[in-house]
Amino acid sequence: MLEYIKQWLAQRRGGAIGDHDPGNLPEPKTVAEQQLSRCRLIVLDLETTGLNASKDEVIAIGAVAIEGGVIHLDDQFDLILRRPELDIRETVLIHGIGPEALTQGHETEDALLYLLEWMNGDPVLAYHSAFDQKFLEKTLKAQLGYARPHIWMDVAELLPALFPNSNVKGRGLDDWADFFGLEVSERHHAAADALVTAELTLIALNKARKNNVKTLKELAEKLHYQRRLKNMQRY
C-alpha cells in the first residue's frame, strides 16, 4: 500500500511527497437529509500507545466503508504509522505492534492525508467513538494543522438505542458481537475491530430502517434523545 499512497499523493499534489495543503482536503459533510440507504459511512478503529489522549499517540488506523447497506471490503483503510520514537512497551502485548513495525510503518503525515482523502468528509462511526475521535483529532491537528469537525456517531450508543430490550452481558464490542453471533477474527487489531464494528453497524441500520428511521438526521436525533433520556435516569 505504501507505493500506492506515494503514487496517489504525487498525482494529487503534482509534486513531491512531503508537500501538502490541508485547505484543499474534502469538506466534512453535514447531517442534512442524507438517506441511510445511500450515504457512505466510515467505520473506524485506532490502536494507540495507551488510553490517555493527552500523552499517548496513534500507531495504527483501520477503517472500512459502508455504502448502500453493504460493507465494501475493497473500500477500506489499514495502516501502521511510522513512529519509531514512541514507547510501546506497556501496550505491545495488547495490540501486537512492536518496534520493528513502527520503524517500517507509513509516514504519518502522508498516511493522514491519504486517510482524509479516502474518508471524503463522510460521517464516522466507532465503538466508544469519543476515544477514537479525541485521538484522531489530536493527531490530525498536530501533524497537519487540520481541525475541521466531522460527524461522529457512537456504535456503543447506537446498539442499545435500537435494541433496548436486548440481554447483553456487558457493554463491550465483544459482548455485542457474541449477542449477535458474530465471529471476531482478531481483537485489538484496528482493521479487524473496524470490520466487526461495521457488521454491528449494519445490524443497527437494518433495525433503524424497520423503525422507520430513514435519514442520518433522524438517526442522530434518536441518539440525542436516547442520551438525554439516559442522563435523566441518573437523577
At 103-121, the pLDDT tens digits run: 888 889 989 999 999 999 9
Tell whether domain 28-232 is in CATH 3.30.420.10.
Answer: yes
pLDDT, residue 146, reads 93
| Cβ–Cβ under 8 Å, residues 138 and 53 | yes
Is the pLDDT at 235 greater than 80, yes or no?
A: no
What are the grid coordinates assigned to 193, written together?
475491530
What are the grid coordinates assigned to 88, written together?
510501546
pLDDT, residue 39, reads 93
Quick one: DSSP state of residue 83? -
pTM of the model: 0.86
pLDDT, residue 2, reads 47
Q: How far apart are the first and last CA of the chain?
A: 51
Is the pLDDT at 179 greater than 70, yes or no?
A: yes
Quick one: DSSP state of residue 26? P
Q: Give the strand pairing for 58-67 and 70-80.
A: antiparallel
- Residue 128: burial class (beta carbons within 10 Å; 0-12, 13-18, 19+): middle
Encode pLDDT of 204-227 as tens digits: 999 999 999 999 999 999 888 888
What are the grid coordinates assigned to 183, written together?
465471529
- Residue 42: burial class (beta carbons within 10 Å; 0-12, 13-18, 19+): buried
pLDDT, residue 53, reads 92
> How sure is the predictor about 102, in pLDDT bands with cuts at 50, 70 and 90?
confident
Is the pLDDT at 45 greater than 80, yes or no?
A: yes
Mean pLDDT, range 49-64, rounded to an integer: 92
pLDDT, residue 104, reads 82
Ranges 1-10, 70-79, 132-141, 167-176, most confident? 132-141
Q: Strand pairing partners for 64? A: 43, 76
Domain boundaries, the chain: 28-232
What is the distance between the alpha carbons of residues 58 and 25, in angstroms, rounded to a whole number? 21
Determine which of 3-12, 153-162, 174-183 has the lowest per-residue pLDDT on average.
Answer: 3-12
